[in-house]
Amino acid sequence: NITDSLFSLYKERGISGATAWRGVKGYGSRGVTSASYLEIVINLPIIIETVDEPEKIEELLRNVKEIVGDRGLITLEEVNVI
């Protein structure tokens, strides 16, 4: 799965940290997905936030793009960690 592959890559490369968030509802090229108490949906959205120095993130991008492919969206955001 994408999350496990990314986390393995991050650990291998010594990335400072990452968190995976599971969405409860999503909309995109595959339509609407949602979860309720009566059903299990495998294709729910996931956001993975990865934190490290910009240089380390840049070094990973090619590998991240290969893992994610056309199954996700990759964004870069500059943050201030307090």
Amino acid 10: pLDDT: 96
3 close to 11: Cβ distance less than 8 angstroms: no
The residues with which 49 forms a beta bridge, in sequence order, are 19
Q: Is 1 or 7 the better-scoring residue by pLDDT?
A: 7
Mean pLDDT, rounded, of the chain: 85
The residues with which 19 forms a beta bridge, in sequence order, are 49
Would the pTM of this model clear 0.95, i.e. be above it? no
Count other Cβ atoms within 10 Å, centred on residue 15.
19
pLDDT band at 46 (very low <50, low <70, confident <90, very high): confident
Could you tell me which of 24, 20, 46, 47 has the C-alpha nearest to residue 35? 24
Rounded alpha-carbon distances, angstroms, from residue 25 to 4, 28, 39, 63, 67: 21, 10, 13, 27, 23
